[in-house]
Amino acid sequence: MSETNEAILVMEDIDKSFPGVHALDHVHFDVRCGEVHALMGENGAGKSTLMKVLTGIYSKDSGKITFEGREIEFHNTREAQDAGIVIVHQELNMVGDLTVAQNIFIGREFMKGFRIDDKKMIEESNKLFDELKIQIDPKAKMSDLTVGKQQMCEIAKAISHQAKVIVFDEPSAALTEKEIEDLFTIIRDLRDKGMAIVYISHRMDEIKVITDRVTVMRDGGYVGTLITNDCTKEDIINMMVGRVIYEDPKTESHVPADAPVVLKVEHLNAGRMVQDVSFELRKGEILGFSGLMGAGRTETARALFGADPKTSGDIYVNGQKVTINSPQDAVKYGIGYLSEDRKRYGIVVQKSIIENSTLATLEKYMKGAFIDKAEEEKITQKYIDELSTKTPSADTLVVNLSGGNQQKVVIAKWLVRNCDILIFDEPTRGIDVGAKNEIYKLMNRLAEEGKSIIMISSEMTEILRMSDRIVVMCEGKKTGELDIAEATQEKIMDKATRDIA
């Protein structure tokens, strides 16, 4: 990136308020042609709101946006796309039943008379894929592709709009290491062709690898902009959270040698992804589940929780053999599950924090045919305070919270239920470093109070920082178990790439 490159896009003094929330407080941001510019901040810092103002989803209250030297204001995403500003979203907006080509040109189909010209769309899709140096069949059904390949299709769709600025919103959250490498190759190629790239991510290591500059936001305000090569990871974290955060791995288990076994799973089988899995969980233990994408960790948790049917295997809770055929059974035995897909399985986003927090315990708050609203609000407020959930009030709809705060609402739901065994599946996915730290502290506190936690994580640093013991899986099988005192990244990776126990 040339330092002298003039900015193609400048956002100055952008202000935006919602009822009870000053979401953007006179924010500045710019991006140049031929650069990758990271936009970082804790959940709720205002990053997504700023990009929604840029692309016409929200209107700004005040401020000025200049694009290619002209002041502009878009009223919807279509106007932004037509001008050449496109967002590749974290949650992919593809239609699974349509082909790749149909998805790329949806709403802009090539026509032959009164009929859609599928042949022309396939040709144009192939040209886009050639330009991106990727191999995808335009005739393939979108739902048959991996998440990584679907992401590539989103990028091809952005390029098809003759994009000059592409915003990547948490693009690597659900990708494998190999898919992230492929994504970075494409982003570098786009940058080298002179495109301006905005890159929103919480992954510190990625920022150092892929970006040229970093702009940090905090609590809706602009903190500063750094040149990536001239700053450290700690510099960025300090700007994001305004405090120092230490990420030291755990060196020894915090679980007493005589701690009782609260959960025992023997020879669990559930389809191809869960084959003869056995493990034990002790009182007050954080048991990490590590492995590569597709190792079968989530499938094991879902079979244990009764969310997916199991074909065989025995489950013991506090020494008693139990039958778990549904999540209701699991909850009855004191097991709570925080799904990696919180929006599908964890929360009802169009309901309030109060309604979500008491979702699993509603019978406790019933007085005859009515809900005791005062008690419901009291317990919800208790966990808002304990978890430091950022919200104007307990009545706020969950859809209006940031990702990290939505995650805290899911955790509150199971704490209100007072589950003794908690399964945390990717508890910090898509959550910034400050909110991560709060979730880590909370998990440690729960373990100290005698709760037992199974933590599934794809982040090696998280596994090493939090676990007392680590179960490693590969291709549906348990391939090893490590005490934290002996665990290293190398040992975990060795077991994660083996397909035999």
Q: Average pLDDT, stretch 428-455? A: 86
- Asked which of 236-240, 309-313, 329-333, 477-481 is least confident by mean pLDDT, the reply is 236-240
User: In the numeric block, which tokens belong to residue 298?
Assistant: 């989530």
> Within 10 A of 386 (CB to CB), how many other CB atoms are there?
14
Which pLDDT does position 316 carry in this prediction? 98
Structural domains of the chain ordered from first start: 7-241 (3.40.50.300), 260-334+419-501 (3.40.50.300), 347-417 (no CATH)
Residues 229-267: b if buried by 16+ CB within 10 A, e if exposed: eebeeeebbbbbbeeeeebebbeebebeeebeebbbbee
Query: Residue 297: what pLDDT?
Result: 94
Average pLDDT, stretch 174-196?
A: 85
Task: Give the separation between CA 38 and CA 15, rounded to whole angstroms.
Answer: 20
Name which residue leads in pLDDT, 25 or 437: 25
- One-letter amino acid of 68: E
What pLDDT is attached to residue 444? 93
The better pLDDT of the pair 295, 132 is held by 295
Q: Which of 167-176, 337-346, 450-459 is predicted most confidently?
A: 450-459
Distance CA 161, CA 108 (A): 10
Q: Where are the alpha helices (DSSP H) in 311-359?
A: 327-332, 353-357
Radius of gyration of the chain (CA): 24
What's the whole-number mean pLDDT along residues 332-356?
A: 82
pLDDT digits (tens, 9 = 90+) for 243-273: 665 567 789 999 998 999 999 999 999 988 9
Q: Quote the pLDDT of residue 153.
A: 85
pLDDT value of position 497: 76
The answer on pLDDT for 410 being more than 80 is yes
Mean pLDDT value of segment 424-439: 81
pLDDT higher than 60, residue 3: no
pLDDT digits (tens, 9 = 90+) for 80-109: 988 999 988 765 567 778 888 998 888 888
**Predicted local confidence at residue 342, as pLDDT:** 60
pLDDT at 92: 59
pLDDT at 389 exceeding the cut of 90: no
pTM score, whole prediction = 0.60
The model's pLDDT over 351-375, given as tens digits with 9 standing for 90+, comes to 999 999 988 777 788 888 888 888 8
The number of helix segments (H) and strand segments (E) in the chain equals 16, 24
pLDDT at 500: 42
Q: Which of 68-82, 290-304, 310-324, 332-346 has the lowest mean pLDDT?
A: 332-346
Reference 51, options 20, 19, 22, 11; nearest CA is 11
User: What is the tens place of the pLDDT at every residue in 199-229?
Assistant: 998 777 788 899 999 999 988 999 999 999 9
Residue 468 pLDDT > 90: yes
For residue 346, the model assigns a pLDDT of: 67
Q: Poorest-confidence range of 121-125, 143-147, 211-215, 254-258?
A: 143-147
What is the per-residue pLDDT for 501? 40
pLDDT band at 198 (very low <50, low <70, confident <90, very high): very high
